[in-house]
């Protein structure tokens, strides 16, 4: 069926905007892509692509390149400061061929950039702040007008200016905790295969994720992403942090990890990240549709942000290809994501205080109960579905055929 060629604006050239640009360009739509940053490039830490996100990269023909850059992650291990194992989850317990893929944001950016033929036409330094012309045009911060468009895709991130302008009633809360992170060299690949975390109650969380290399780098450039949890007030003061004192503290807390950051000599070598909780009952208004963090920002506890963005882009492209008009396509897109996104928002909101808060009693309960609950057959299966990004509703699974499909695609790409 399909709608035919449309004039489409994409606001934001992060993961959601990049993937949408590839899909919609291939469908023959006429695109204008706007990015607020003056220089196009990645923002954020290393990411963990789940089987869901890998399935989208496979659909785009980019899985083989992703596997060449990324670092397979087969296991998530979390221990408390006393050495008690709080969680231990292996993808293979859900499906034998499954795994996550740690990647640098820069590698994913370059990968998606390579799939967009008209990348050089992206309009950078364009801060879009609102819509006009009955919702068909865009207005930038300097008062410039762009359009008209048949459809506007808002992929402008967790603090979306278009969401605030069009739907100010949407739930949008800043989490009280955030994190600092940095990329560290790991040429010996001591941390391969696992996402490792260590907790001291919920006041301290530290972790390391293998994230591979950038395109065209050699294996000696293999890196890991290090992150350190901080309450919001401490996060704001991080640039004044006494780094030597902090490194001494880290050596006592987790000596093996402390070795990674010995070469860091300034707090400014660490990026700061804060997180939002955004809930939209319907991810569009008129002809403006929201994708990625602009539609459903959440805590990174479940590591699903980039995967959700990729799935959003795929779902919207599929809806535009199948439906006869834009209104029907936006309704179809909403239904396609409704079974998946809310459960992750709910679980993320529930989990966050267990790992990032001042609630010591809650954290002690986590340490005592998570291990036994994670070994109970039914609960373990549900926890693994959450990890892999495939949980839908209470006991459902996103696309049951993914179990066979992902295994086949990974084998072919390898």
Q: Check: CB of residue 314 under 8 Å from CB of residue 59.
A: yes
pLDDT of residue 134: 82
Structure tokens at 256: 């093996």
**Pairing between β-strand 391-392 and β-strand 171-174 as defined by DSSP bridges:** unpaired
Task: Kindly write down the DSSP assignment for every residue of 150-176, as one continuous string.
Answer: SEEEE---TT-HHHHHH-TTSEEEE-S
pLDDT of residue 2: 67
Distance CA 274, CA 231 (A): 10
Distance CA 236, CA 267 (A): 12
Distance CA 74, CA 65 (A): 19
Phi and psi angles of residue 282, each rounded to the nearest 5 degrees, phi first: -135, 120
pLDDT of residue 101: 96
- What is the tens place of the pLDDT at every residue in 162-177? 999 999 989 899 999 9
At residue 77, the 3 state secondary structure works out as strand
Q: Sign of dihedral through CA atoms 6, 10, 13, 18? A: negative
At residue 374, the 3 state secondary structure works out as helix
Q: For domain 7-174+276-413, give the fold.
A: FAD/NAD(P)-binding domain (3.50.50)
pLDDT of residue 165: 93
Closest CA relative to residue 297, chosen from 313, 275, 316: 275
At residue 411, the 3 state secondary structure works out as helix
Question: In the beta sheet, which residues pair with residue 184?
Answer: 224
Task: Kindly write down the DSSP assignment for every residue of 8-31, as one continuous string.
Answer: EEEE--SHHHHHHHHHHHHTT-EE
pLDDT of residue 104: 95
Q: Check: CB of residue 178 under 8 Å from CB of residue 235.
A: yes
Phi and psi angles of residue 68, each rounded to the nearest 5 degrees, phi first: -70, -30
Query: Residue 342 belongs to what H/E stretch?
Result: helix 341-355
In Å, what is the CA distance from 337 to each residue of 29, 66, 294, 319, 324? Answer: 22, 24, 14, 11, 19
Distance CA 326, CA 2 (A): 10
Distance CA 400, CA 390 (A): 9
Range list of H helices, 186-304: 232-236, 243-253, 255-258, 293-296
Distance CA 380, CA 372 (A): 9
Task: Kindly write down the DSSP assignment for every residue of 109-123, as one continuous string.
Answer: HHHHHHT-TTGGG-E
- What is the tens place of the pLDDT at every residue in 211-259? 999 998 888 889 999 999 999 999 999 999 999 999 999 999 999 998 8
Range list of H helices, 74-132: 105-114
Q: Is the pTM of this model over 0.75?
A: yes
pLDDT of residue 402: 58
| Cβ count within 10 A of residue 395 | 10
Q: Check: CB of residue 211 under 8 Å from CB of residue 71.
A: yes
Angle separating helix axes 341-355 and 326-338, nearest 10 degrees: 40
Low-confidence residues in the chain, pLDDT < 70: 1-2, 394-414
Distance CA 109, CA 260 (A): 25
162 Cβ contact partners less than 8 Å away, ≥ 6 residues apart: 11, 128, 129, 130, 131, 152, 154, 156, 288, 290, 294
pLDDT of residue 82: 87
Q: In angstroms, how far apart are the furthest CA atoms of the chain?
A: 63
pLDDT of residue 371: 83
């Amino acid at each position: 069926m399909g709608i035919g060629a449309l004039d489409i604006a994409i606001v934001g050239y992060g993961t959601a905007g990049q993937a949408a640009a590839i899909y919609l360009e291939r469908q023959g739509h006429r695109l204008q892509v706007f990015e607020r940053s003056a220089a196009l490039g990645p923002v954020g830490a290393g990411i963990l692509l789940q089987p869901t996100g890998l399935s989208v990269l496979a659909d785009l023909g980019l899985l083989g390149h992703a596997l060449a850059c990324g670092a397979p992650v087969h296991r998530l291990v979390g221990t408390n400061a006393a050495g008690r194992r709080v969680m231990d989850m292996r993808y293979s317990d859900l499906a034998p061929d499954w795994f996550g893929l740690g990647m640098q944001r820069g590698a994913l950016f370059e990968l998606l950039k390579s799939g967009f033929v008209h990348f050089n036409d992206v309009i950078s330094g364009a801060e879009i702040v609102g819509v006009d012309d009955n919702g068909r045009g865009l207005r930038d911060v300097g008062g410039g007008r762009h359009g008209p468009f048949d459809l506007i895709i808002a992929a402008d991130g967790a603090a979306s200016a278009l969401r605030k302008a069009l739907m100010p009633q949407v739930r949008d809360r800043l989490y009280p905790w955030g994190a600092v992170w940095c990329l560290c060299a790991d040429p010996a690949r001591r941390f391969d295969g696992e996402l490792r975390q260590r907790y001291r109650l919920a006041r301290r969380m530290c972790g390391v994720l293998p994230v591979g290399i950038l395109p065209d780098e050699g294996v000696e450039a293999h890196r890991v992403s290090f992150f350190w949890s901080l309450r919001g007030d401490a996060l704001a003061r991080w640039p004044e942090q006494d780094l030597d004192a902090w490194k001494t503290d880290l050596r006592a807390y987790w000596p093996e990890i402390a070795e990674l950051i010995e070469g860091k000599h300034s707090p400014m070598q660490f990026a700061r990240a804060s997180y939002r909780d955004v809930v939209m009952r319907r991810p569009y208004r008129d002809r403006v549709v929201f994708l990625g963090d602009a539609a459903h920002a959440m805590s990174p506890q479940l590591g699903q942000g980039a995967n959700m963005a990729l799935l959003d882009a795929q779902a919207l492209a599929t809806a535009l290809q199948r439906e006869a008009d834009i209104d029907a396509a936006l309704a179809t897109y909403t239904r396609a994501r409704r079974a998946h996104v809310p459960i992750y928002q709910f679980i993320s909101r529930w989990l966050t205080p267990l790992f990032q808060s001042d609630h010591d009693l809650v954290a002690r309960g986590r340490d005592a109960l998570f291990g036994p609950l994670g070994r109970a057959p039914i609960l373990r299966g549900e926890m693994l579905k959450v990890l892999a990004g495939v949980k839908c509703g209470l006991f459902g699974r996103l696309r049951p055929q993914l179990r066979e499909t992902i295994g086949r695609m990974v084998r072919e790409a390898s």
